[in-house]
């Protein structure tokens, strides 16, 4: 029986089958099954891994208005996005339950509660019973991402208990936003999950910074993507490849401890799961001298208000006929 203060984690540093939802799900299933053989209790996948990051925007003139390429690529992206209400993640949930493994999964979500046509970069948390407990839609897409991703809301700014740990997560550059970070700290977060599309230049500084600021473990998980990973059947395949570098995402997954020092430095070599065991006692050790929402805070001076209402353009009220 495993000790309650220890948590076995897997960082799933893999490439998607780019913009292919069904094939990418098969890769996700394989990583979960592989992690189960290592007694993994939490597995984490990168930002938007299912079905992939919109790399074409920087390669095909994505900011050009009303072009055939941009429209057709967006339509392809939307068709391969995840609609949770339609059961797209049911098998992931079933595997989580079967293997008693919690999952953080980055998806491109096409939610029905916002009409079913716009896309969101969402981070989904599935607990060890296979239940989706939060879907955090990225608050502010970064730069050219705004051409295909809509801004999210605060509904997913939630934390989750896993053994002695309290988990929370953010997408990519959201991790640079002080107030969303503070909203998770204030709910007791001590294991922060940061998901990225890939590349060590994103993870090498912020991972240790958040760990030192929060006195928490921080796990950054990134995907991989190379020129050869673009499927031949992708719309405008030749145009995408014209300006594509050989490596678009080199991973950089890593772990920092509550003292802000590296446990696992950014890894740009591994293709697959990276395993480690975390010891909760290290959190208590570092909170002795600094606790940003406990003894080293002044709520009488500064306080954060968080709106976690799921946003929608309509509120339907159905009148019942009087008898």
The single residue of 47, 145, 189, 286 carrying the catalytic annotation is 47
8 A C-beta contact, residue 276 and residue 221: no
Coil, strand or helix at 6: strand
The yes-or-no answer on residue 138 being catalytic is yes
Beta strands in the chain (DSSP E): 6-13, 42-45, 102-109, 120-126, 132-137, 160-162, 165-171, 191-196, 217-222, 224-226, 247-250, 253-256, 262-267, 272-279
The single residue of 21, 145, 172, 189 carrying the catalytic annotation is 172
DSSP code for 128: T
The yes-or-no answer on residue 97 being catalytic is no
The single residue of 138, 158, 163, 282 carrying the catalytic annotation is 138
The yes-or-no answer on residue 315 being catalytic is no
> How far is the C-alpha of 260 from the C-alpha of 314, rounded, in Å?
44
Instruction: Please report which helix (H) or strand (E) contains residue 24, including its range.
Output: helix 21-36
**What angle is formed at CA 189 by the lines to CA 284 and CA 2, rounded to 5 degrees?**
65
Residues in Cβ contact with 266 at an 8 Å cutoff, skipping those fewer than 6 apart: 200, 203, 204, 207, 220, 251, 252, 253, 254
Show which residues are catalytic. 47, 138, 172
């Amino acid at each position: 029986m495993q000790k309650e203060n220890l948590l076995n984690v897997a960082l799933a540093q893999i490439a998607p089958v780019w913009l292919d939802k069904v094939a990418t799900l098969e890769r996700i299933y394989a990583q979960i099954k592989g992690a189960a053989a290592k007694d993994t209790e939490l597995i984490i996948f990168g930002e938007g891994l299912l079905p992939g990051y919109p790399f074409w925007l920087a390669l095909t003139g994505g900011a050009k208005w009303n072009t055939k390429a941009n429209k057709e690529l967006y339509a392809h992206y939307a068709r391969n996005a995840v609609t949770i209400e339609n059961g797209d993640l049911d098998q992931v949930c079933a595997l989580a339950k079967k293997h008693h493994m919690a999952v953080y999964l980055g998806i491109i979500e096409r939610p029905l509660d916002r009409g079913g046509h716009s896309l969101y970069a969402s981070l989904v948390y599935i607990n060890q019973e296979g239940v989706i407990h939060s879907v955090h839609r990225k608050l502010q897409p970064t730069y050219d991402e705004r051409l295909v991703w809509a801004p999210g809301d605060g509904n997913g700014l939630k934390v989750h208990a896993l053994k002695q740990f309290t988990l929370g997560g953010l997408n990519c550059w959201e991790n640079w936003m002080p107030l969303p970070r503070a909203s998770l700290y204030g709910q007791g977060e001590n294991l922060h999950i940061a998901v990225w599309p890939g590349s060590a230049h994103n993870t090498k500084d912020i991972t240790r910074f958040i760990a030192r600021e929060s006195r928490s473990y921080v796990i950054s998980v990134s995907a991989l993507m190379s020129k050869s990973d673009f499927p031949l059947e992708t719309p405008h395949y030749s145009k995408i490849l014209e300006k594509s570098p050989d490596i678009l995402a080199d991973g950089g997954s890593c772990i920092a401890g509550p003292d802000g020092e590296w446990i696992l430095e950014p890894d740009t070599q591994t293709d697959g799961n990276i395993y480690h065991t975390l010891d909760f006692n290290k959190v208590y050790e570092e909170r002795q001298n600094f606790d940003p929402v406990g003894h080293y805070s002044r709520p009488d001076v500064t306080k954060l208000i968080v709106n976690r209402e799921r946003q929608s353009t309509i509120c339907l009220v159905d009148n019942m006929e009087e008898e």
